[in-house]
Structure formats: C-alpha cells, structure tokens
Amino acid sequence: MTDYKLYGSQASLFTGKARGFLRWKGTRFTEHAVNEQIMREIVLAKVGWPVIPVMQTPDGDIIQDTADIINAIEASHPEPSVHPDGPVQRFVSQLLHTYADQWLVVPAMHYRWNYNEDWIYGEFGRSMAPDATAGEQYELGKKRGQMFRGFVPMLGINEETIPGIEASYEAFLAEFSAHLDAHDFVFGARPSLADFAFLGPLYAHLYRDPASGEIMKRLAPNVARWTERAIAGEGGKGTLIGGDQIPQTLLPILRRAMAEHLPVLLASLDQFAEWLETAETGAEVPRAFGQAEFTQGGRSGKIITASFSLFRLQAALDEYADMDEAVRTRADALLDTIGGGALKSFSLPQRLERRNYKLHLAL
C-alpha cells in the first residue's frame, strides 16, 4: 500500500496537529518539508494558495485543512475514534477545537514573533533550502516569515495587550496542568480531537520554539510532557471517560474560552450577517469581516473577526442541534456553568462549507 504524504513543516502550527493525529491513528505516512519546489508543484498547483499542511492520499487526492484530514482518516479507519462517544463530550470537544484552533493562536503568534523571531527565520530557511548556507537560509526565511509576522497586529498583539495575553496564557497553562494531574489527556487515558487541537499551538510554537518552550517547561512541566506524548502519537490503547461526563478540571479552561473568545464570536456573527446581506449565492467568504473588541488578562484591544472561527464553531453547533431534549438539558446546564449561555441561541444565518480549498456560503 502506498503511504499518505503529509506536506508541511516542523515549525507549522497545523502540521503539528495533523502529525500527532496521524501517528496516534497508526496511519502509514511520510512527511515532506515544504521547500520552494513542493510549494510550487504541489501546494500552489493543487490548492491554489500558499497554505500548509496538505495531505496526499494513496489515490492521489489532495486534502487541505486539518479537520478535513482528520475526517478523511476517520472515515477509512474509524477505530479508535478521535471523537468521544457521548453527545455532550462531542459538543465540548468541538468547542475546545474552536478555542484551540482560533484563539490559542494569539499567544502562539505572540511568543513566536516577540520571543523567537530570529530563530524562526532560520527555521523557515532550513526547511525551504536545506542545502543553503546559514546566512542564505536566514535571509530566505526572513523573506517568507514577513508574511506571518504581518498577522501579529491583526490578532490584537501590541504593547498594550501583551501583558494580558501573557497573563491569560500562563493561567491556561496552570489550568491545563491541573487537569493533567488527574487525566493523561483531555477526556481520559487516550487522545481525542480536543487534544490534537491543543497540540497545534502548544507544540510547534509554544513548546518547540526555544524561548517559549523554556517558559512552558518551567511553568507547566505537565503540559510539556503532555505535548511530548501527544506529538509522539501515544495513548492509542487507552480509554475515554464514560457516562458522557465532562471532567470538572476542564471547567476553568471552558470558562476561559467563553469569557475571552465567545464575545468575539458573537461580534463575528453580527458582522457575518451584515456581509451576507449583499453576498451572492455560494459566494467565497472573506477571511475576516472586520474587527472586534477583546479582553485577555484584564487588557483590551481589537482583533480581526475571522470567518473560519464561525466555520469551526459550526461543528459544535451541529452537535448541539443533534441532541435530544434530555441531553440538551445537560448541555445547557454546562453552558450556564461556564458562562456560555449565548451559545444556546447562537445560529449562523447561513451554513458555511469548504469548496476548492476555500470557505464559501453553502449551496
């Protein structure tokens, strides 16, 4: 059998998420660092825009976006499932997927570009041109890295907000560390979707980058050890917590997600509805609708309202919509406990879907 091929980078947030999942799933795959040739002949030629990771199936199909990669592997190799059995657990798993993918990117980008900038330029260059000199790699990496550096102010990262971003991240590390005192992974003794979602920002940026890695290992060695287990694909034979129970130790993390991210999601919803008034049927959705106020660690600023955040949240809303009355009563009690009551009536005015590797209004 021909292996799957994962095109990505050790320095890539979402490549780490996919890599950990594929290893845990026992998928036969080879990983290929994206150099200039692969970017031109695979990524741009097949996907149409510069994005990683990209996975090629044994049949030659190209899949882009980590959720699509996970779903494709789950469809062909359903056991063990990355999704918990219980409906409330699945709902919470998707909420944490949204939080990790779309909100933990803020500290991930802050620590990379304000603590590790010179180092990451070298990393980018080594990946793109492994045979070049160190100086050539640095200059090549810097040229490519400026695009990512440009996202920093869009994420509300500035001198005013940085103390709050760091305070919130350190509090998250303490909360996740306390959870890991009781459980090996998010929902028990083996990983689930939420673990691989957390792995994205926590591995490539916040563990592997040297300055931020030192911070994690010093403040939260539990989290550093979890990161090592998750990226290695460990926990394949463990079991998840039964009875559709949500560990009490997850509640502080969920409260943080609701307090910090939910207001931005609500603002994104309003701006999406406004944009939709003049959008054509099936239109491609802009990556951002505008900006919204956000608060972390007692500091406030403005951040882009990303359309993909609504798309990630849509999966959680689908889980909520599928619940029967008794299950939804339990889910509503949890939402009230964590400050997420607004999600009970959160409804996208039109579904979103991915077509041709980009986000569109559903047809």
- Summarised one tens digit per residue, pLDDT across range 219-238 is 999 999 999 999 999 998 89
DSSP 8-state secondary structure symbol assigned to residue 12:
-
Reported as type and span, the H/E element at residue 355 is strand 352-355
Q: What's the pTM?
A: 0.96
**Residues 6 or more apart from 27 whose CB is under 8 A from it?**
4, 73, 77
Q: What is the rounded distance in angstroms from the CA atom of residue 322 to the CA atom of residue 335?
A: 16
Residue 127 confidence class, pLDDT cut points 50, 70, 90: confident
Work out whether strand 4-8 and strand 29-33 pair parallel, antiparallel, or are unpaired. parallel
- Burial pattern 64-80, b for ≥16 Cβ within 10 A else e, equals bbbbebbeebbeeeeeb
Mean of all residue pLDDT scores within the chain: 96
Cα separations (Å) of 334 from 11, 248, 258? 36, 11, 12
Nearest to 56 by CA among 42, 70, 75, 66: 42
What is the CB-side half-sphere exposure of residue 4 using CA atoms within 13 A? 23
Domains and CATH numbers, the chain: 4-76 (3.40.30.10), 88-243 (1.20.1050.10), 256-361 (no CATH)
pLDDT of residue 36: 86
Query: What is the average pLDDT across 137-144?
Result: 88
Contact indicator for 103, 212 with CB cutoff of 8 Å: no
